[in-house]
Amino acid sequence: MVAGKKTKKTHESINNRLALVMKSGKYTLGYKTVLESLRSSKGKLIIISNNCPPLRKSEIEYYAMLAKVGVHHYNGSKFTRIYPCYFYMKCWLNCYHLMILPCVFVLLTVRN
């Protein structure tokens, strides 16, 4: 998996695009909503953190393959501060602690 060897540069650019989407687009977080948006063919990109359990990761990848949606393996665990989302992390933080799920973002619209 090339994800481990991501250079700093591409890392930043993903973050930049994330920042854009968080501000101006739609997204959902969490396993259940990801599946819902995949089934209703609303999702355009899925970001999976690297501490996602492998079975769940494979499942999401399979759904994404059926839906022809891109999957991005984020080089960081759900606990890494994703800078553009920091503001949102504050309100989603509770959800993570309660759900104990790895964070799986679905970006519903990506402007660029």
Asked if residue 44 binds another protein (CB under 8 A), the reply is: yes
Contact 70, 46 (CB under 8 A): yes
Q: Shortest distance, CB of residue 94 to another protein, whole angstroms?
A: 24
Q: Which long-range contacts (CB under 8 A, 24 or more apart) does 3-9 make?
A: 3/50, 3/73, 3/74, 3/75, 4/75, 6/75
Q: Shortest distance, CB of residue 37 to another protein, whole angstroms?
A: 10
Which of 40, 55, 91, 100 touches another protein by CB under 8 A? 40
H or E segment and range at residue 15: helix 8-24
Which of 19, 67, 71, 101 touches another protein by CB under 8 A? 67
Interface contacts to another protein, rule CB under 8 A: 35-36, 39-41, 43-44, 59, 63, 65-69
